[in-house]
Structure 1
Amino acid sequence: MGEVVNVIVAVAVIVFIVRWATSNNAPSQPSPSSILGFRPKNVTPEMVETIHNMFPDIPSDNIRYDLLRTGSVQITTNKLLERGFLPAPPPAYFTLYPRAVEPANPAARPGQAQQPAAAASKSKSESLISRFHLEDRVIASASGVSAAPEEAGGKSVWEENAAKREASLRERKAQMILAARQRLLAQQAAQQAEPSS
């Protein structure tokens, strides 16, 4: 009978030691909800990219943190539109989600097609005047035949068909571009005249 008691005690001690050793070796990882203070929603990279494309100046980490809270692109977008910013995530956030590396070139984001260097330089050098084919009007305004900048854009009149509305919009855009150009030239002339006086 004494041997049976010794065997039972030995087995109990071995089980206790094995449980103690395995529980200390496996580090207990806190859950994301205990670290962040809320139960995070499922966030896909496409959700973050969608908002980042609309608001490229907002860091991806701020977007992901807010999406973890809301779980909705629409709610996060509305917050951005109302406030103009998203709060930065707390330091505990970065223990779960390493800091996102922002690409130096916004056109180099994943999921977007790369522009050839020639096309990128062409689009940068192209002005609004050449994009909207207003070269003839610039020449005419240089000769003094132009509308006052205050009248740029004018009052819009609702046309009866889509083609006329589109033409009216195009004309108002052209007037606004030309008026902005005139204001810029006047401002530059005033700045050049200022140092000489």
Structure 2
Amino acid sequence: MSEVVNAIVAVAVIFFIFRWATSGSSSSSDERRSAAAALGFRPKPVTQEMVNHVHAVFPNIPPDNIRFDLLRTGSIELTSNKILERGFLEAPPPAYYTIYPRAEASAQQLPDGSNTTSVSSPSSSAKQPSLIERYNLHDRVDGVNFTPDVIEVGGKAKWEDTTEKREASLRERKAQMILAARQRMLAQTE
């Protein structure tokens, strides 16, 4: 009989120790409960990548609206379908901003390691380089005046023997297409 009592006491002690050890991590569950109470639903896990993905497809939708809907659905597809069906997403309630600060105010980490303010704010968007700058065609733009009939843009290329020659041929065709497009644009503006 005493062995049974010792076993019951040992199980009870182990149970209370286990409960005490796991109660320290309840702060995250308390945060979830308070978020659920404030928002009126249990928020699903949402990453910044999910918000950026939807925002890249629908740049006119504010990131806070996207995050709020993703917290509800937990799915990029459902949020995207809702935008396609309605054309907009509801604005989050004021309680949302107490839990999740505004996207414009929070600093975000870019993939290159630099910090910037919100991706959606127009003042923070850097000027995109032109195709001339991206493909280093400055020397070809300045000295030569192309005419569209001289350049055969996008024509059939001859199959080269080596990969280096094929890459060089592709780069040259790409440069010719960019320069011809630039020339057409300049002709339209004149």
Question: Greater CA radius of gyration, 1 or 2?
Answer: 1
TM-score (norm 2): 0.49
TM-score (norm 1): 0.48
